[in-house]
Amino acid sequence: MGRTYKQLCLEERCEIARLSAGGSSIRQIAAALDRPPSTISRELNRNSGVQVGYKPSYAQQQMRARRWTGSRLEREPGLRRAVLERLGRGWSPEQVAGRLAREHGRRVISYESIYRFIYAQLTRTSDFSWRRYLPRGKSKRGRRGKRGGSPASFIEGRVSLDQRPIEVADRKTPGHWEADLMMFSKYGQQILAVHERTSRLLLGVPLASKLASGVAHHLVRLFEVLPQPIRRTVTFDNGTEFAAHLSLQSLLIKTFFCDPHAPWQKGGIENAIGRMRRFIPRNTDLEKLPTRRLRKSIAAYNNTRANALTSRPRQRSLLLKCCTSSVNPPSGLRRDDGWRSLAPYFAFSLRKAMMSARSFGS
């Protein structure tokens, strides 16, 4: 029969260090641990320092370093190509991991492994182009610190998020939106972005100014062409650009605001803007950005599934659930109308909203 070998564990290394410091010989240590003397001799020769001697924690680290053969994405070129190809198309690591698991019927790689691989490449190569594979494009992990005060007290008629209907939280009821400004490096350039919570649908309109009256007018232009069932509430942060939110009451839309310093409470639009940065970076000059490219960027976001495990476009569930209901259905549409008849209506509404908002801002 062949011999079987068992690696030394941390407890055994601690015992080796104690006995060695007490003056025990290699054979005495081997007898105490029921190990061959050659195992103890090799362990002491490999992991002993010239000045500090044998330390069990250092020996354990050395063992792990010798056994590490690189991450899976470094060892498997095919898997690396599949992951990087999807990341390059704008997918997040969570979506890539979910899609690979669905295609193979088992978990292939975790999203944390993908994040660690990208950040390891940034550290080892100092090539910061690797960060372009990440949704936020950050070269370091972590959150930014809080600074400054909150203008919440200057917003007239502000209603806290705590009073928002409970049905909004589970994302099952359509018609609840989140809004924010996508800012750019050049002064006076921003995009007004609105995001529907159920369908994850994103709409965006360039603004020439972020004055509260202008932002409110653009919001009214965007929402007035949509049916009432899909314009119920809008959630903002506490920026003064949304101080004229009461203008939306003419459309029977209720407005709510996040807690101070808590933009994560409207995480849908925050995530959407972060992902849009991959198509339209912060240093983009909106004056030189063609309208066609902006529309394509928004369409690329909307066509990317919010969850890689789903198989239907994100707009479909919203429109089929709302526009075909018996409450204020669009003219010419019946309850049994499908996506083919709804898509032209919604495309016309979206086109009309963007054109009217652009003409107002020009």
Give me the average pLDDT of each 10-residue run along the chain (362 residues). Answer: 72 92 92 92 87 86 76 88 91 91 91 90 85 82 63 82 90 92 92 92 90 92 89 92 92 92 90 89 91 89 60 45 36 34 43 48 42
User: What is the per-residue pLDDT for 314?
Assistant: 45
pLDDT at residue number 144? 62
Nearest in space to 204 (alpha carbons), one of 90, 89, 344, 353: 353
pLDDT at residue 316, rounded to an integer? 44
What per-residue confidence (pLDDT) applies to 330?
38
Class of domain 151-361 as given by CATH: alpha beta
Burial class (CB in 10 A: 0-12, 13-18, 19+), 201: buried
Identify the three-state secondary structure at position 205: strand
What's the pLDDT at 328? 35
Specify the pTM. Answer: 0.57
DSSP secondary structure string for all residues of 120-166? HHHHHH--GGGGGGSSS--SS-S-PPP-S--GGGGSTT--BGGGS-G
The domain limits of the chain are 10-67, 72-133, 151-361
- Length of the chain counted residue by residue: 362
Alpha-carbon distance of 284 to 292, in angstroms, equals: 15
pLDDT for the residue numbered 203? 92
In whole angstroms, what is the distance from residue 338 CA to residue 273 CA? 30
Q: What is the spatial distance between Cα 234 and Cα 161, in angstroms, rounded to a whole number? A: 10
- In this prediction, residue 202 carries a pLDDT of 92
Q: What is the dihedral of CA 167, 168, 171, 177, to 10 degrees?
A: 150
Q: What is the pLDDT of residue 146?
A: 56
Name the helix (H) or strand (E) containing 358: helix 339-361
